[in-house]
């Protein structure tokens, strides 16, 4: 059995018979934490490659039953420049590109069948009532887990759902959503087992990620007394995930756009939620928006009255 035939594709819609590209050797072993998400706290001491992707994706390549599901069948060594022949890589990349367009056409057909006017309405404009600030993690499709339809949620996603004062990217999103779209709710949603939060606490130089993730250490510093008192590492990380969400809510509330709109309109309300990957449920941290706003305004008042 060659390495190629050890793979199969589950559905005919996607690429018929071509192997996925095994990940190249992990050059920074501890960084697998970032990809592994909420793996247990001992995983950083393992020397195995990261786990394969979950197998519930109907349209993605999976290993056949003849391969161990806990380990890719072909792990390239560092002496191999490429994990498979270049022409195979090229073919795989072409096919994994093409399947998205097939999915897209299928989606258009399905939407049009359900509602022939769907795209006419979609192109008429947007008036979303929710702004979602969430993690880039591929396992948290904001619209699906909230059941929000196209047109309902303005979306910003970054690593570890951070809101930083001088980040023009997220601040433009907030300003636009509040002042021009007049959203009614702003949701900061983190998730338990956040690899970004875990990586932020790992004593390792992550290059350009250092300053970004440093914001999470700032959260730790603000709440070190509470966090240091939690003996279980996994529980401590999960509490840090929650505290990170709460601090990012504060950062949203510090903005002039939110304070001024709330003073005038009684919205938006800022919410802190956490998504549980192991049960799919959203948990409301009940941050107490009005009290938090009042507390913030002791120092950050921008009501402009």
Binding-site residues for Zn(2+), please?
Answer: 135, 137, 191, 194
- Check residue 171 for interaction with its own copies (CB under 8 A): yes
Closest CB to its own copies among 215 and 296?
215
Taking CB under 8 A as the rule, does residue 10 contact its own copies? no
Cβ distance 30 to 15 under 8 Å?
A: no
Q: CB 126: neighbour CB atoms within 10 A?
A: 12
Read off the DSSP letter of residue 19: P
Q: Is 135 a catalytic residue?
A: yes
- Could you tell me where the DSSP H helices lie in the chain? 32-36, 86-114, 118-122, 142-146, 168-175, 195-200, 209-222, 224-228, 233-253, 256-265, 289-300
Site for its own copies in 214-253 (CB under 8 A): none
| Residue 116 in the binding site for its own copies (CB under 8 A) | no
Instruction: Check binding of 12 to its own copies (CB under 8 A).
Output: no
Q: Between residues 147 and 231, which has the closer beta carbon with respect to its own copies? A: 147
Q: Residue 116, exposed/middle/buried by CB under 10 A (0-12, 13-18, 19+)?
A: exposed
DSSP 8-state code for residue 186 = E
Regarding 293 and contact with its own copies (CB under 8 A), the answer is: no
Phi, psi of 63 (to 5 degrees): -75, 145
Q: Check if the beta carbon of residue 142 is closer than 8 Å to that of residue 157.
A: yes
Any contact of residue 126 with its own copies (CB under 8 A)? yes
Choosing from 8, 145, 223, 239, the residue that interacts with its own copies (CB under 8 A) is 145
Q: How far apart are CA 249 and CA 258, in angstroms?
A: 11
Contact call for residue 97 and its own copies (CB under 8 A)? yes
Choosing from 16, 203, 231, 280, the residue that interacts with its own copies (CB under 8 A) is 280
Sorted by sequence, the CB contacts under 8 Å of residue 49 that are 6+ apart come out as: 23, 25, 26, 32, 71, 72, 75
Near its own copies by CB under 8 A: residue from 157, 217, 223, 239: 157
Nearest to 288 by CA among 253, 241, 239: 253
Report, in Å, the least distance between residue 177 CB and its own copies.
Answer: 8
Q: Among residues 139, 179, 185, 239, which one is catalytic?
A: 139
Q: Which is nearer to its own copies, 4 or 94 (CB)?
A: 94
Q: Is 4 in the site for its own copies (CB under 8 A)?
A: no
Q: Give the one residue of 16, 125, 203, 231 binding its own copies; rule: CB under 8 A.
A: 125
Among 15, 170, 246, 249, binds its own copies (CB under 8 A): 170
DSSP-assigned letter for residue 126: -
Q: Please, what is the angle between helix 256-265 and helix 289-300, to 10°?
A: 120
Nearer to its own copies, 1 or 120 (CB): 120
Closer residue to its own copies, CB minimum distance, 5 or 204: 204
Residues ≥6 apart with Cβ < 8 Å to 265: 182
Asked if 71 is part of the footprint of its own copies (rule: CB under 8 A), the reply reads: no
Contact flag: residue 147 with its own copies (CB under 8 A): yes
Cα separation, 87 vs 91, in Å, equals 6
Question: Is 139 known to be catalytic?
Answer: yes
By CB under 8 A, name the one of 47, 101, 298, 305 that touches its own copies: 101
- Cite the annotated binding site by residue number: 135, 137, 191, 194
Alpha-carbon torsion angle 304, 134, 286, 151, nearest 10: 80
Q: Is 194 a catalytic residue?
A: yes
- Quick check: 93 binds its own copies (CB under 8 A)? yes
Q: Could you list the active site residues?
A: 135, 137, 139, 191, 194
């Amino acid at each position: 059995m060659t390495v190629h035939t050890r793979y199969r594709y589950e559905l005919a819609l996607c690429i018929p018979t071509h192997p996925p590209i095994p990940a190249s050797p992990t050059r920074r072993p501890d960084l697998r934490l970032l990809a592994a998400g909420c793996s247990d706290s001992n995983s950083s001491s393992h020397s195995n490659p990261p786990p394969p992707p979950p197998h519930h994706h109907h349209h993605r390549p999976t290993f056949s039953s003849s391969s161990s599901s806990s380990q890719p069948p072909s792990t390239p060594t560092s002496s191999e420049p490429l994990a498979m022949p270049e022409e195979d890589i090229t073919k795989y990349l072409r096919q994994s590109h093409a399947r998205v367009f097939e999915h897209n056409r299928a989606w258009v057909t399905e939407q049009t069948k359900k509602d022939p006017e769907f795209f006419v309405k979609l192109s008429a404009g947007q008036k979303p009532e929710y702004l979602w600030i969430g993690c880039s993690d591929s396992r948290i499709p904001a619209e699906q887990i909230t059941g929000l339809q196209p047109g309902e949620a303005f979306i910003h996603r970054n690593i570890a759902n951070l809101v930083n004062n001088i980040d023009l990217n997220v601040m433009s999103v907030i300003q636009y959503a509040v002042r021009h779209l007049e959203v009614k709710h702003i949701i900061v949603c983190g998730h338990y087992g956040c690899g970004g939060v875990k990586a932020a606490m790992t004593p390792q130089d992550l290059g350009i990620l250092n300053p970004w993730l440093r914001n999470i250490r700032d959260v730790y510093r603000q709440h070190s007394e509470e966090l240091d008192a939690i003996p279980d590492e996994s529980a401590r990380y999960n509490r840090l995930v929650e505290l990170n969400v709460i601090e990012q809510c504060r950062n949203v509330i510090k903005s002039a756009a939110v304070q001024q709109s709330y003073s005038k309109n009684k919205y938006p309300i800022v919410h802190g939620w956490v998504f549980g990957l192991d049960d799919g449920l959203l948990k409301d941290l009940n941050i107490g928006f009005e009290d938090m706003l009042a507390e913030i305004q002791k120092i950050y008042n921008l009501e402009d009255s």
